[in-house]
Amino acid sequence: MTITNEPQAPARRAVGISNGGALSTRVDVAIRGIRVAAPVHREGGAGPSDDGHVLFQGLQSAIPQSQDSPYLVDDGRLLLEGEDTGIEVTPVARPRFYDLATADGVSYEAIARLHGAKVLATTVVQTCVRYDVAERCRFCSIEESLNSGATVAVKTPSMIAEVAEAAWRLDGVEQMVMTTGTSKGRDRGATHLARCVRAIKAVVPELEIQVQCEPPGDLTTITDLYEAGARSIGIHVESMDDDVRRRWMPGKSRVSMDEYRAAWREAVRVFGRNQVSTYLLVGLGEDPDEMVAGAQELIDMGVYPFIVPFRPLRGTLATDVDHVPAPHGSVLHDITFRVSEALIAAGMKGTDQKAGCAACGACSALQTAGG
């Protein structure tokens, strides 16, 4: 794959225009990482990882940890090459539920993890039908944390409910994100997700839950997820450009954009406007203007486009085989800024979502930009 992630054709806005320097710095640390001792961190697995979880100016943030970064967190301040940036960064403390285990001896930490400061997250099925080398999404390392022994392949509804209750009671988690590897079935894994949601809501009715899955073959499954008790849903496309999708997601790109659009429309009908989201990854070689136009289409549908930089992660084909670098900061800044403006104009805020990645915001700079 030949993706260089050089700055792409003319960014309409210069870096540093919005929200003082906070957005520029938030974008820069997302790309260059930070040096920080973070008790809450992730290695491998679904979604962005290899990061430390901190409060960045009070906002939950998941930032790559890099010993080569010029950014250092010292005594709650962010230093750039030794100079105080004026930005407060506080590592999230290790949660108490990590010290517990099930009666069978499975560590709670292997069942679900703290994300940010207030989010409990788990991958209910840690394997994916598309994980064959020719099929897998090139940015994904879902089975790596399984191979390393950090998690278990299938979490049962009762296991997850037990951990959710403890995390809620001991550590004050406010919301939960549940994703899944894609199964062979027509539901693509959504039925197991619904069972897990029901089990959690039976023991912690107050906990808001987001489910994340591919467009289910049968759209009535979306109603099943809502009726089980989920109140937000992520149906993640990562890119709306079919050429990018074929290059980066050979298996998943066979789920057509028409199927995604139908699933998003049905999800907005069932869950409501701005309770549906999708990831858009910056750095897959897409045209920035087309990405912003795609985000606008999503916003018009009531779907929140969660703008996240591609991260070069160990254990992914993109890093280990293709050697794709992180996107250029000016491109990420430009897209984040333009999409946040569109979100603000539409009255859609990530924090208005009941649960999920947009509500958490840690993996994106959108909340720093006001979106």
* Contact residues for ligand SF4, defined by CB under 6 A: 47-48, 62, 115-116, 119, 121, 177, 357, 360, 362-363
Task: Count CA within 13 A, CB hemisphere, residue 102.
Answer: 17
C-beta of 62 vs 211, nearer to ligand SF4: 62
Query: What kind and span of H or E run contains 147?
Result: helix 144-147
* Own/partner long-range contacts of 217-222 (Cβ < 8 Å, ≥24 apart): 217/186, 217/187, 217/188, 218/186, 218/187, 219/262, 219/263, 219/266, 221/187, 221/190, 221/191, 221/194, 222/190, 222/263, 222/266, 222/267, 222/270, 222/271
Provide, rounded to whole angstroms, the least separation between the CB of residue 187 and ligand SF4. Answer: 22
Whichever of 183 and 364 has its CB closer to ligand SF4, that residue is: 364
User: Minimum Å distance from CB 220 to ligand SF4?
Assistant: 26
- Closer residue to ligand SF4, CB minimum distance, 8 or 210: 210
Tokens read off for 130: 């598309």
Q: What is the DSSP string of 189-221?
A: THHHHHHHHHHHHHH-TT-EEEEE-PPPSSTHH
CB-nearer residue toward ligand SF4: 15 or 196: 196
Least separation in angstroms between residue 134's CB and ligand SF4 is: 26
- Supply the minimum distance, in Å, between the C-beta of residue 360 and ligand SF4: 3
Cβ-proximal residues to 319 (8 Å cutoff; 6+ apart), any chain: 312, 313
- Which residue number, 15 or 279, has a Cβ lying nearer to ligand SF4? 279
Q: Which amino acid is at 220?
A: T
Tokens representing 283 are 């750095």
Q: How far is the CB of 212 from ligand SF4 (least distance, A)?
A: 9
CB of 319 to ligand SF4, least distance (A): 18
Nearer to ligand SF4, 92 or 284 (CB): 92
